[in-house]
């Protein structure tokens, strides 16, 4: 393994698992975790950053591993009382989780950036590795529906349980948004070893990060390979609507579609043993490919996938 810097791009659950694995094998000064904030939204007057919080809670070892979101040992008394008041209870805000949202909303209102706020929250939760929002500017993901309408992302994802048929996505204001300084600085490091795209939804978790102004140019201008881990395993997304979205967008739900989606943007794709047969087709689509176990059940799985991914990236750099 080289001794340079690694940038990991992550959405929520699956991405956070690999980010955790990377954090277990790299010291804090060798890893920058960049979280998608396209799924951020304002709810009940609070600024809520679901992917960012999932990464933060996962690295703080506070996450609810069964649910895949929120905090372990969470209680729901606020939400029960809100329901009794007839409030909007479709987004499940736990009692302990609320402390994060209220603190963040207050700090943002004081004029601090989301990067600073995230850094402060991480410090207080004992997270040693830097977690950076992709941008300090709001870039809300809008889901464009096949029936012609638009949905704010969390309305699509949580309220409507991903049921509407999607036609596309846009990231509102992205042309005016800047990558957060911690993200841009990490990409510009002369000792950048590789960029890892964690197994997150390509359309709504990774694209917002990659499509921020200047990011693709920085990746193109760097010697560091960009390696993605396929979020599609055996025709399924382990979590979330990626496979359903592929159906609706007319793509076969396999790693080849992932490779094609990232064509020209990644140097290598890590695919699961279940998709061994797709390896050559992935390579034909552009990137190099490696096959390993990508399903992360145990902590050891997370560390092993992190090791395999970094080794694969090193092989591409060599």
Minimum CB separation from a second copy for residue 108, in Å? 10
- DSSP secondary structure of 20-35: HHHHHHS-GGGEEEEE
Contacts of 15 (CB under 8 A, 6+ apart): 8, 9, 35, 36, 51, 55, 198, 199, 200, 205
Place of tokens 């087709």: 281
Is the CB of 46 or the CB of 143 nearer to a second copy?
Answer: 46
Is the CB of 98 or the CB of 145 nearer to a second copy?
Answer: 98
Distance of CA 27 to the CA centre of its chain: 20
Minimum CB separation from a second copy for residue 86, in Å? 5
Is the CB of 62 or the CB of 197 nearer to a second copy?
Answer: 62
Contact 246, 261 (CB under 8 A): no
Count of helices and strands (H, E) across the chain:
13, 14
Minimum CB separation from a second copy for residue 56, in Å? 11
Direct distance between the N- and C-terminal alpha carbons of the chain, in angstroms, rounded to an integer = 11
Instruction: Count other C-beta atoms under 10 Å from residue 74's C-beta.
Output: 18
Is the CB of 103 or the CB of 293 nearer to a second copy?
Answer: 103
Is the CB of 75 or the CB of 315 nearer to a second copy?
Answer: 75
Minimum CB separation from a second copy for residue 106, in Å? 5
Helix (H, G, I), strand (E, B) or coil at 301: helix
Instruction: Count other C-beta atoms under 10 Å from residue 91's C-beta.
Output: 17
Minimum CB separation from a second copy for residue 187, in Å? 30
Minimum CB separation from a second copy for residue 41, in Å? 14
Is the CB of 86 or the CB of 148 nearer to a second copy?
Answer: 86
Please give the residue ranges that form the binding site for a second copy (CB under 8 A): 44-46, 71, 74-75, 77-82, 84-87, 94-100, 102-103, 105-106, 109, 121, 124-125
Minimum CB separation from a second copy for residue 116, in Å? 15
Instruction: Count other C-beta atoms under 10 Å from residue 181's C-beta.
Output: 14
Helix (H, G, I), strand (E, B) or coil at 246: helix
Is the CB of 109 or the CB of 297 nearer to a second copy?
Answer: 109
């Amino acid at each position: 393994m080289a001794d340079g810097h690694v940038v990991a791009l992550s959405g929520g659950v699956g991405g956070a698992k690999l980010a955790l694995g990377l954090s277990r094998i790299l010291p804090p000064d060798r890893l920058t975790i960049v979280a998608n904030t396209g799924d951020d939204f304002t709810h009940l007057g609070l600024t809520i950053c679901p992917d960012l919080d999932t990464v933060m809670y996962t690295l703080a070892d506070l996450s609810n591993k069964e649910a895949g979101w929120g905090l372990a040992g969470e209680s729901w008394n606020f939400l029960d009382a809100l329901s009794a008041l007839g409030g909007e209870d479709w987004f499940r805000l736990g009692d302990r989780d609320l402390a994060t949202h209220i603190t963040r909303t207050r700090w943002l209102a004081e004029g601090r950036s989301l990067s600073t706020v995230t850094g402060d929250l991480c410090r207080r939760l004992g997270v040693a590795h830097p977690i950076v929002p992709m941008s300090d500017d709001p870039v809300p993901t809008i889901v464009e529906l096949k029936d012609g309408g638009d949905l704010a992302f969390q309305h699509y994802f949580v309220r409507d349980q991903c049921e509407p048929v999607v036609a596309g996505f846009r990231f509102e204001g992205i042309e005016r948004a800047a990558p957060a300084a911690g993200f841009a600085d990490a990409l510009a490091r002369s000792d950048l070893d590789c960029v890892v795209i964690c197994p997150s939804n390509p359309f709504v978790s990774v694209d917002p990060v990659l499509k921020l102004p200047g990011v693709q140019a920085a990746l193109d201008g760097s010697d560091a390979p960009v390696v993605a881990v396929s979020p599609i395993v055996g025709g399924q997304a382990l979590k979330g609507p990626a496979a359903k979205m592929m159906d609706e967008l007319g793509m076969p739900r396999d790693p080849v579609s992932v490779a094609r989606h990232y064509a020209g943007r990644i140097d290598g794709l890590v695919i699961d043993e279940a998709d061994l047969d797709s390896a050559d087709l992935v390579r034909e689509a552009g990137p190099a490919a490696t096959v390993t176990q990508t399903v992360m059940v145990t902590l050891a799985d997370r560390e092993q996938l992190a090791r395999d991914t970094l080794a694969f990236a090193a092989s591409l750099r060599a």
